[in-house]
Amino acid sequence: MTLHIVCSAASDIAFSLMWGGVLLLYWGALPDSLRASVHRLVTAAAIMLCLALPLQILLLTSDMCGTTHWLEIHAVLPDVLEMHAGSVLRSQFICVLLLSLSALVPLKPVTRRSIFTLLLLALTTFKAATGHAAIDGPFSLRELSQWLHLASIAAWAGGILLAAVLSVPLLGNESNLLVSYLRRLSRHCTLSIGIVCITGVLNSWLITEGKLEHIRSSTWGTLLIVKMAFVLVALTLGFLNRRDINGSLTAETQLAVAKRIRLEAPIMLVILCASGWLSALSPV
């Protein structure tokens, strides 16, 4: 179970970095050094997923056939890859493998960005078809809501993580670019959070079939409440940042915003780990 949670969390973190990175490539007016770093980070995240997904397939097989013996897992692996959960993990693996391989090909930045975007959209579609959202079958309201939820939480978390580790340190000496970047990030996060909240409530309602006692009485529900608490902390920090960013940004407030972003990043990691853990639990 622990390995399953670690694997899911690592996948969610890599997925968020990919979303944050690809969206950043559309923001324009980025210095070449930042653009190149984003390309490398998205590729690194894809490689991380290339390692995590096969492990997730093996863990799923081990869990389903109730054994940790390699020969027994190997024997039923083809059956697992044929069923829904296995086939969508395999499809996700193909997407991230193609994305990783595309880094080896010399391409124009616009072409590379388009390839990243297409593969990321496909990856999100397959990711939305796994777990609890798959219960109603393909192309259901659950899957659509899950697609929007995954994309928006990854865009939010990825945006913050990238800002903390890459963009803010790299743009620190270019005040105008940093201000414009922070304002863009603030709008981007506000939109993402709006979608996260709406789809989060809808997903919880669909998963518990409107029976809110499941949230109070299950481990899944307790963990969901813990995740919500961290989301509230991140929202508070985001609100403070938005207030400062929309005012006149002095050097002092820029520092305060950068500090809050660095504080928000580990909170986003906790939220992503909680999401990975939730996906490994049964809601009822």
**What is the DSSP-derived secondary structure letter of residue 167?**
I
Q: Give the Cα separation of 72 and 69 in Å (integer).
A: 6
Segment interacting with another protein (CB under 8 A) among 12-20, 38-46, 82-90, 258-266: 82-90
Interface pick for another protein out of 44, 54, 63, 197 (rule CB under 8 A): 63
By CB under 8 A, the residues from 111 to 130 that bind another protein are 130
Segment interacting with another protein (CB under 8 A) among 21-29, 61-69, 116-124, 200-208: 61-69
Q: How far is the CB of 283 from another protein (least distance, A)?
A: 9
Interface pick for another protein out of 17, 43, 45, 86 (rule CB under 8 A): 86
- Which tokens is 268 given? 């986003």
Angle CA(264)–CA(197)–CA(209) in degrees, nearest 5? 130
Give yes or no for residue 131 binding another protein (CB under 8 A): yes
Q: Give the Cα separation of 21 and 42 in Å (integer).
A: 6
What is the amino acid identity at position 21?
G
- Which tokens is 12 given? 């969610």
Give yes or no for residue 159 binding another protein (CB under 8 A): no
Give yes or no for residue 83 binding another protein (CB under 8 A): yes
- Backbone phi, then psi, for 130, in 5-degree steps? -105, 170
Give yes or no for residue 85 binding another protein (CB under 8 A): yes
Q: Give the Cα separation of 194 and 172 in Å (integer).
A: 28
Residues in contact with another protein by the rule CB under 8 A: 60, 63-66, 76, 79, 83-86, 130-135, 282
